Amino acid sequence: MRVLVIGGDGYCGWATALYLSNKGHQVGILDSLVRRHWDLELCVETLTPIAPIQQRIQRWRDLTGKVIDLFIGDITNYDFLFKTLHKFQPDAIVHFGEQRSAPFSMIDREHAVLTQVNNVTGTLNILYAMKEDFPDCHLVKLGTMGEYGTPNIDIEEGYITIEHNGRKDTLPYPKQPGSMYHLSKVHDSHNIHFACRIWGLRATDLNQGVVYGVLTEETGMDELLINRLDYDGVFGTALNRFCIQAAIDHPITVYGKGGQTRGFLDIRDTVRCIELAIANPAAPGEFRVFNQFTEQFSVSDLALKVKEAGKALGLKVEINNLENPRIEKEEHYFNAKNTNLLDLGLQPHYLSDALLDSLLNFAVKYKQRVDNNQILPKVTWQR
Ligand code: NAD
Ligand code: USQ
């Protein structure tokens, strides 16, 4: 298939682009490189040194003989997006190209507006371009488990059947997101659902949990193909941060009581889930939702697992419960369904297999690159 990976220079996108290329798909990467710019603005860097996108793609071609097309530009620019789609003629669009950090979106009004304009406009432009000239293309859109929040009932995959005053219907599952970023994903989901219902487009919304790990078969083939691994207080995510903290002897930063429970998955499962979604496309008019995670953990569970795994490397890991910079429930019910992708054939990697090979060993190898000033959270949810 011809697959356009929007956001293909990022963490999930780069691993996915190489994986799909290796599987024989004709891959194009579209990216504005804005994430590299945001890193510079915040003075943060990935733990792992990433090469410029042109060098990455050239190296991939030298190693494998496989060509990845590159389109540098911003999808909030409709003209650029439309011309790229005409040049590339995708069968599937995998859309990772958004501002994805909750703390970034909560810095101030400007960052909230930037996040929502970037994310909502980009996705709307894709929908309009598809409506205009690519109505059969399948949109595979990265959403987030955080769209649901932490309700006191089981979380279904996108829809819930409700009986009310003697009548019954299956409706979109209620959304209670916890940041301006997570809210942008809810807005996207509504817009995509509308485009499927009204214009007959086909889309899969992948409500992904928190991704961990840095190693995939392809990104591990060469140093120039290495993926990014964020550890700073804005872009770093829970488990990735905890492993890097362990490597540099920094107490693990559990926010508040640490009972916050989320869905997690290995980056090797992210790429496989995308493959499964594009191989089994949604029907015309269908807005399909998959919950994309493999295991649920509380942040305290994760901290303890990192502490335990660290022993094998001789690391003495401390855990510190910091005052929570976010406003969120710290003890709550959480039970989310995730059977759709398993039914399509996903065979999960479990955390116990990834902690050393895909995280702690990398963290130790590159620990000299860590800037200790970027570990503690600086953004708060308070007024
Ligand atoms: P990332 O920041 O590493 O990558 C995103 C990429 O998109 C960057 O390369 C950036 O330059 C590009 N981009 C952003 N806005 C763009 C625009 N307007 N036009 C063109 N390119 C643009 O993020 P990631 O961690 O790879 O996340 C990818 C997607 O997956 C996001 O949509 C995110 O919400 C979702 N997601 C990520 C995680 C996670 O744990 N990383 C979990 C769940 C969902
Ligand atoms: N947390 C800590 N300590 C830390 C960092 C985070 O206790 O040092 C806690 C947070 O308070 C939160 C939980 O861990 O309760 C998850 O935080 P996170 O930063 O790992 O993840 P989140 O902000 O939710 O965002 C990340 C990605 C985002 C994606 C989301 C999936 O950045 O793109 O959408 O995970 S989910 O969480 O399922 O919505």
pLDDT tens, residue by residue, 73-110: 999 999 999 999 999 999 999 999 999 999 999 999 99
pLDDT at 140: 99
Global pTM?
0.98
pLDDT at 358: 85
pLDDT at 205: 98
Q: Which residues lie below 8 Å from residue 55, measured CB to CB, with a gap of 6+? A: 224
- Of 151, 193, 187, nearest to 172 (Cα)? 193
pLDDT tens-digit profile of 320-377?
999 999 999 999 999 999 999 999 999 999 999 889 888 999 999 999 999 999 999 9
Q: Which residues lie below 8 Å from residue 110, measured CB to CB, with a gap of 6+? A: none
Indicate whether 16 pLDDT > 80: yes
Please spell the DSSP secondary structure of 55-114, one letter per residue: HHHHHHHHHH----EEEES-TTSHHHHHHHHHHH--SEEEE--S---HHHHTS-HHHHHH
Q: Which is it for strands 295-298 and 261-266: parallel, antiparallel or unpaired?
A: antiparallel
Ligand 1 pocket test, candidate residues 4, 6, 9, 35, most atoms within 8 A of CB: 35
- Report the C-alpha gap between 19 and 318 in whole angstroms: 36
pLDDT at 253: 98
pLDDT at 357: 84
H-type helices in 146-212, by residue range? 180-199
CATH number given to 2-374: 3.40.50.720
- Report the C-alpha gap between 126 and 238 in whole angstroms: 31
* Mean of pLDDT values over 156-176: 98
Other CB atoms within 10 Å distance of the CB of residue 87:
11
C-alpha 36 to ligand 2 mean position (Å): 20
* Mean of pLDDT values over 19-42: 98
State which amino acid sits at residue 165: N
For helices 11-22 and 267-279, angle between their N-to-C axes, nearest 10 degrees: 60
- Band of residue 179 on the pLDDT scale cut at 50, 70, 90: very high
The dihedrals phi and psi of 208, each to the nearest 5 degrees, come to -85, 145
C-alpha 274 to ligand 1 mean position (Å): 14
Q: Which residues lie below 8 Å from residue 343, measured CB to CB, with a gap of 6+? A: none
pLDDT tens-digit profile of 292-333?
999 999 999 999 999 999 999 999 999 999 999 999 999 999
Instruction: Extract the tokens encoding 293.
Output: 């995670």
Closest residue to atom 22 of ligand 1, CA basis: 97
Q: What percent of the chain has pLDDT over 90?
A: 98
pLDDT at 353: 86
| 181 has catalytic annotation | yes
pLDDT at 201: 98
HSE-CB at 46 with a 13 A cutoff on CA atoms is 18
| 185 has catalytic annotation | yes
State which amino acid sits at residue 206: L
pLDDT tens-digit profile of 110-145?
999 999 999 999 999 999 999 999 999 999 999 999
Compute the mean pLDDT over every residue in the chain, rounded to the nearest whole number.
Answer: 98
- Report the C-alpha gap between 195 and 355 in whole angstroms: 40
Indicate whether 53 pLDDT > 80: yes
- Band of residue 9 on the pLDDT scale cut at 50, 70, 90: very high
State which amino acid sits at residue 116: Q
Residues with beta carbon inside 6 Å of ligand 1?
7, 9-13, 31-35, 74-76, 96-100, 118, 122, 142, 144, 208, 210-211, 237
Instruction: Extract the tokens encoding 66.
Output: 């496989």
Indicate whether 215 pLDDT > 90: yes
Task: Burial-class residue 237 by CB neighbours within 10 Å (0-12, 13-18, 19+).
Answer: buried
Indicate whether 383 pLDDT > 80: no
pLDDT at 165: 98
Task: Burial-class residue 101 by CB neighbours within 10 Å (0-12, 13-18, 19+).
Answer: buried
Q: Which residues lie below 8 Å from residue 141, measured CB to CB, with a gap of 6+? A: 95, 123, 188, 192, 203, 204, 205, 206
Indicate whether 378 pLDDT > 80: yes
pLDDT at 133: 98
pLDDT at 346: 98
Q: What percent of the chain has pLDDT over 70?
A: 100
The residue from 11, 19, 148, 181 that is catalytic is 181
Atom number in ligand 2 closest to CA 240: 20
